[in-house]
Chains A and B, each alone.
Chain A
Amino acid sequence: MTIPIETAARPDAASEGRFDVVVVGAGHAGCEAAVACARLGLHTALLTVNLDDTAKMSCNPAIGGIAKGHMVREIDALGGIMGIVTDRAAIQFKMLNRGRGPAVWSPRAQCDKPLYSREMLALLAGVPGLERIAGVANHVRLERGRVAGIELADGRFLACRAAVITPGTFLDGLIHIGSEKIAGGRIGEHAALALSECLSELGLERGRLKTGTPPRIHRDSIDTAAMAPQRGDDPPQPFSHWTERLELDQVLCWLTRTSERTHEVIRRNIHHSPLYSGEIKGAGPRYCPSIEDKVVKFPERTTHQVFVEPEGRDVPEIYVNGLSTSLPADVQREFVRTIPGLERAELIRPGYAVEYDFVLPHQLQATFEVKQVPGLFLAGQICGTSGYEEAAAQGLIAGINAALQVRGDPQFVLRRDQAYVGVLVDDLVTREHREPYRMFTSAAEHRLLLRADNADERLCEIGHAIGLVSAGQIERVRAKYAAIVAEERRLARISVVVPEGERPMRAIELLARPEGTIAGLAARGVASEIPPAWSDCIEVRVRYRGYIERQQRTAEKSASMDHVLLSVSLWEDELVGVSREAREKLRRWRPATVGQASRIAGVSPSDVAVLMVHARRGRANEAPASVEG
């Protein structure tokens, strides 16, 4: 089977393609979804408008960060690709929050944007069963109520048994720069209008969100001497569990600050901002405010931080992190030039805000399949999230589930106590969303269990069972944790050297103290028998054992509710005993488990108790049917 790659050369070619899964969009969600499907043995198409626009980093040039870095480690442990590509494209590594508690140590890597795309393209090219197709998706064709294929703008049709749609900010995207409005999802690229219309025809309820990006400044126009250099970690720690060694010359970033003069320019021009003139209707992310928002909402602040970050080794663009704005380009230039080090700054591209449609995610299952359209999966910003990492996590889960469904295997859902990825999915399908969803560590009630250091312990076995983590990889992880457990036992047996007159002490007791470290043990005569890279892991396990065990107990309790299934037929029932508000919410969300139901706002603990009764009764009624089946 051959698929025409160059649409421009044969615009009227109506060739048929037949696939198991078609993934629409080759951003961070689409790439994960396509690779997962292909690696699970399915014939997969990855459709994108322009083949070079793959895994583009539309906004900041970094992967990871607090809670996001955790998710990248999890994606990697499940057999996803973001961590590997990041390690290949990164130009600076940093473990954030190192001075805080272990649950919130978060890796982040500054990346070379064009290199990230190239590395992703190289990886995709090496995945058997994955075909990359250039084209514009126009329509999802249904047959007998389920997905039958994707119709392209040029008339081609890609038949498939499941589709994963990942259009990012392109659904009815509208870019704002001052009062100027341009249809598009990313500057210089068209919006996906037909696809947007198609989703409306499918009856999907939608909302409108907004996000923004700062101006890009020319590297040669900044004065680095006037700013504080920001270095990476030495040695750098790789993102991926499978990256053996990192060898790179890390770049510098810089820190500078806005001043009262900056704020004065912004205040004087605030009426030109579409955010304040009422032009923008979509809700923006509060955690990522524009500079005009920060100036207006926190007038008492005389300065705000600006991180000056190169977008790559050999590109002129400098990203000014902290200056996201939709003010007119000339105003942007004026206020940027009030900032130390940026006095002579030349703008390569102005910052802008973009409004786009998203599908209210209560219409999705925890597999990212649209409840009312079997075979149609959505992932990424279309589900109301922001961030490369959130998108990749959804792409992986949607891709795995699309593949499992085509193969006829049971679906795959992570629990909240297993991964941030599980928290992300659950939050999306059980909460109301008023702003783009971003992961925070505070979203995870089992935060001490979900550390960046133990993502492999939590998830590699699962990735292996799915088929995305190889036998060789899982053996490495098993050997690592066997060694760690053996080392803990050894430390519990042997004693450290104590000063004259002090009571004898086991090595593990010393390690459990706040100041205890593996290095500290060596100074007391107990040399470690595990590689230094695992020190963090063992220190945290020993020091926080009591808390970790407590969280494991509460996790087990809540997990038990996630295993109680609610039948879809229940929502047609009267739901006797459930409060009025909860009944309305439950009928809208149609949760799949009692656990999901319990997290919907408006469903009280007593409603949950009643649902448990209904669930039990439902099981009793269904039992004979399943015997027959």
Chain B
Amino acid sequence: MAGWNGKILTIDLTNQTHEICPLDMEIARQFIGGRGLGVRLLWDLVGPDVEPLSPENALIFTTGPITGSGSQTSNRFNVSSKSPLTGTILHANSGGWWGMQFKRTGYDALIVRGKAKAPVIIEITAQGVEIKDADQLWGTGVFETTQALGQDRNNRNVLCIGPAGENLVRIASIMNDKERALARGGPGAVMGSKMLKAIVVEGDQKNKPADQDLFKFMLYETGKLLKASPLTSQALPEFGTAVVMNVINEIGALPTRNFQQSQFDQAEKISGEEITDTILVKNQACWACPISCTRITKTKSDKQGEGPEYESAWAFGAQCGIDDLDTITEANFLCNDMGLDTISMGNTIGCAMELTEKGLMEAELDFGQADKLLDLIHDTAHRRGIGAEMAEGSYRMAEKFGAPELSMSVKKLEMPAYDPRGMQGQGLVFATGNRGACHEEGNMLGPEVLALPRLIDRFATQGKAGIVSVHQDSAAVIDSLIYCKFANLAVAEEFFARALSAVTGEHFTADDLMMVGERIWTLERLFNIREGFTKADDTLPDRMLSEPVPDGPSEGCTVKLAPMLEEYYAFRGWDENGVPRSEKLKELSLEFAIEAEDD
């Protein structure tokens, strides 16, 4: 069927072999691709007995049927694994060019298993698959590695890890196309544990849509809406994702100084407006994207690169009480080069600052202290000094110093740039996140702040569970097609369904896709349950539940999680302990998971 290549490439690094298997098209229809295909493959390959950093863990790269089609934002790909940071399902997706290029090699998925004896790279081209020695690249940064392996914008694309991944840092990212990131949950450490430095792709096969007329119509209609939306046609191109910095700060939901406050008095200095006014060189787009939200910036010391995104500017900014945009930007560049998740890195530094402030950790580290940032990032990537503690992520670090409650994380994944006390629905998103506290799994920024699709009361709780569930399912399916979520700011599932129909030649409705989303979400939940996660893990840091916001527009608020969680389980057809009922699994064609439970 058009859209899918119909092939999965599996590489065993222990034995240095590879094999090509057909993609089960029934699985493709049920899970589409990307994140959905990733969790479905992982379910069979990685059981609860597998340690995340062992050779038995699988690192699964997937594309979707939309990837490489030329539909707006059809550049993305996904990685799935078991997370060394959280122990949960790990999924992360990234833009740029690599995903489109991997699709061109003729595969839908690449499964990497085993562990090489010495550092290697994988090269996949029209000539075949090669595993090559990478001794000379081990220890080098992402930028040098990407250049050394011949990154060539639309023709040859490099994905690699930096020193953080090599040193099994639990918050290490995988980077592609130099500065795009598969960041959350530590995928870089999984890749490092396999002694795999990089994957280079160079393909020549095009993803040609089955119904050209419908595809051209959808291109036109989608383009029209992307142009009409002020978010996708003005806000993101002009100011990047940090356009929301001032907005979130104004409503009192910008976590500040390790979530001790929810407003940062220096927010303007790290905002999208400030970035545009002071350090922006130009904006840039991923492949086939008309939005162009990427910032190319240059600091006073002439360092140039991509970023900072909103989350990164927040992580090294408000979270650490720092307003020095130049240093924040260089911290972002350095994380990209070392291969580190900027959100977890900044959040963990903020946690260390509070541990120090409270006298629990001995370090010369204060909130607002920008001059330590770069050293801390270097030390984390190389596991040196205090960086060795940070390399474990904020939860393990705070636990070691006797105060796990100061880790602002859920399931050990650091919370991103929204204080849920000022956005109740976002609190439920974080608490129930399958990969931990994550804004990409159903962000409530749309309905609770940006009025997308309509503005709802951000402090209300009744009815929130349904909206959260719909957004989670929608995000799961968008991550599986794969589209960029920013396209979803202008067009919704009815567009994605028609584009998928055009590409594959099979008819899909918006609610066919939503059911796929629910199926993916539920299987991820089952994966976590199989790993031993329970209702007790669907929670938030105690600060969010019991420490009222001290001042500002969210003053006095905590997250009223219990009633939302009860409503959430009921909405999803799960029992009171958050376990999907067998009727629900049958409805979602997840019978194979029931059989596994019975075993």
A binds B: no
